[in-house]
Amino acid sequence: MTATDIHRSIDAIWRIESARLIAGLTRIVRDVGIAEDLAQDALVAALEQWPESGVPDNPGAWLMATAKHRAIDRLRRDKRVEPKHEALGHEAEARQAIAFQEAEVVLDDPIGDDLLRLVFISCHPILPSESRVALALRLLGGLKTDEIARAFLVPEPTIAQRIVRAKRTLAEAGIPFEVPRGDQLAARLPSVLEVLYLIFNEGYSATSGDTWVRPDLCEEALRLGRILAELLPGESEVHGLIALMEIQASRLRARSGPSGEPILLLDQNRSRWDRVLIHRGLAALQRAEKLDGEPGPYALQAALAACHARAATPEQTDWQRIVALYEALARIAPSPVVDLNRAVAVAMASGPTAGLELVDALATEPSLASYHLLPSVRGDLLEKLGRFDEARVEFERGVSLTGNVRERELLLERASRCAGRSSAKPSR
């Protein structure tokens, strides 16, 4: 295996193991900032050693062992720096030794999952809501700062500041590494659901990199969501989110071609959709609908996904119902992205001209200025109307805004197709 191959393997392993590594280290050191630093130290050690020694059989265990050794070294170094606190240092080291040896499942903990504990710490009410989600995406989703910025449609420095301040605030407050209970759990639930939702979305449609989907993130968000549903069986929006993720995950195999190229919804081979996941999703949606009279945002999005799941062919899709569901969603959770999705549904139900009118109304929306799907959607509608030159320009603008290699290739292909159709039109 070449050094390049090993570095690619390390990158892939890091994406899979980083969240568990940081979560486990947080349980040990009780500080998410230090835990992330230790995890990064272990990554650096892997980059230095594995090209020579090869990738170990259990890379996750190797990273954790290395990070634990760095944690012990750090504790001893801190003791030397502050000798006057020697007694406290001995006490702290004893506590750390117990933490290193403790079992994965803590007694009297209804969940016993480090990752879910880390979600709840990241979503502590001591943090501003936007900082909670940004921190959790960083720690659990393994997303880089620029990827989180694109997910929030805000500048990258803003996200960087939120993450730094959040870690500092948690450290200074000494937040315990545990799942809250009662009213405290309910208070953090909306942020936790948003975190799982955004992690899943990053797996479903990666904002950057050279892969269109990241199934590992989808699977992790689903796993944590299912645990949460067992913890809170009476919360309709928990089941709504589970329903949404199950149904969306059912399409993962059909979203990419043999070479990893993107396949859009209406072009997918629906026989490749996972019927078991669809069944689970529809059952979760039914539970959500029974628990509450008025569906919440996640239940509404699950109902939207269910419209596609129930249609055997694209032509059988109930686009009028989808438009109505987007209108309901816009009333309780308004956002420009919801408006853009509604415009797509209107185009399918009433024609591209009607959809384009709604898309054009979003052209001056500041939060969509760097959102690649706005020109992508506009290009699609212009292409359907035969306005190929304008469509090509929009697809090329989408290329300049996306950070995902596969998505860029798809938009370039569509721009090239429009250019070919434009030149083929007879001159007047």
Per residue in 278-318, pLDDT (tens digit) is 999 999 999 999 986 789 999 999 999 999 999 999 999 99
End residue of a domain, out of 50, 72, 104: 104
- The number of folded domains in the chain is 3
End residue of a domain, out of 86, 104, 122: 104
Q: Are residues 344 and 405 in the same domain?
A: no
In a domain, 265, yes or no: no
DSSP state of 250: T
Q: Are residues 339 and 415 in the same domain?
A: no
Who has greater pLDDT, 152 or 240?
A: 240
In a domain, 286, yes or no: no
In a domain, 249, yes or no: no
Q: Are residues 75 and 14 in the same domain?
A: yes
Q: Are residues 24 and 98 in the same domain?
A: yes
CB atoms within 10 A of CB 74: 16
Looking up tokens 């979503």 gives 123
Q: Are residues 52 and 96 in the same domain?
A: yes
Please state the rounded mean pLDDT for residues 129-140. Answer: 82
User: Out of 77-86, 246-255, 337-346, 390-399, which region has the weakest mean confidence (pLDDT)?
Assistant: 77-86
Please state the rounded mean pLDDT for residues 245-266. Answer: 95
In a domain, 109, yes or no: no
In a domain, 127, yes or no: no
In a domain, 376, yes or no: yes
Please state the rounded mean pLDDT for residues 215-230. Answer: 86
Q: Are residues 52 and 14 in the same domain?
A: yes
Q: Does the predicted model carry a pTM greater than 0.95?
A: no
Rounded CA separation 285/310 (Å)? 13
User: Out of 214-223, 237-246, 360-369, which region has the weakest mean confidence (pLDDT)?
Assistant: 214-223
In a domain, 189, yes or no: no
Using CA atoms, how far residue 170 sits from 107, 111, 140, 211, 371, in Å, is 24, 22, 16, 34, 32
Q: Residue 428 pLDDT more than 70?
A: no
Q: Are residues 87 and 21 in the same domain?
A: yes
Q: Where in the sequence is the domain holding 379, given as residue range(s)?
A: 370-428
Q: Are residues 10 and 88 in the same domain?
A: yes
Q: Are residues 328 and 421 in the same domain?
A: no
In a domain, 284, yes or no: no
Exposure of 340 by Cβ count < 10 A (0-12 exposed, 13-18 middle, 19+ buried)?
buried
Q: Are residues 374 and 352 in the same domain?
A: no
End residue of a domain, out of 45, 71, 104: 104
